[in-house]
């Protein structure tokens, strides 16, 4: 997944601009940001599909399955691109 931008705004502005693109309902959003005067939104671009599946533990920097997400290192991306026939921009 390509990260295009990181936006910092008041939660109300984030909801107004990006609620139609997100996967969170208004109640959950408001609860999450209830004590915050600012929030952040990642704007995502292209995604890439692997030609074959890989076990997460085969990625060089991963020693255990992440609970939510994991940033990949440049070494990880190169490894996956090379072993999965992935063409990156």
Q: Which residues contact 4 (CB under 8 A, 6 or more apart)?
A: 43, 44, 45
- The SS3 of residue 57 is helix
Across the chain, which has 89 residues, the per-10-residue mean pLDDT values are 90 94 90 94 83 80 78 85 72
- Report how far residue 52's alpha carbon sits from residue 16's, in angstroms, rounded to the nearest whole number: 38
Q: Can you say how many angstroms the Cα of residue 42 is from the centroid of all Cα atoms in its chain?
A: 7
Q: pTM of the full predicted structure?
A: 0.60
């Amino acid at each position: 997944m390509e990260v295009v931008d990181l936006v910092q705004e008041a939660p109300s502005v984030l909801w107004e601009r990006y609620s139609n693109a997100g996967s969170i309902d208004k109640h959950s959003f408001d609860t999450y940001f209830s004590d915050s005067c600012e929030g952040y939104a990642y704007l995502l671009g292209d995604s890439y599909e692997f030609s074959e599946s890989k076990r997460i533990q085969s990625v060089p920097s991963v020693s255990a399955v992440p609970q939510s997400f994991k940033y990949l290192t440049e070494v990880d991306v190169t490894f996956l691109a090379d072993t999965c026939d992935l063409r990156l921009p």
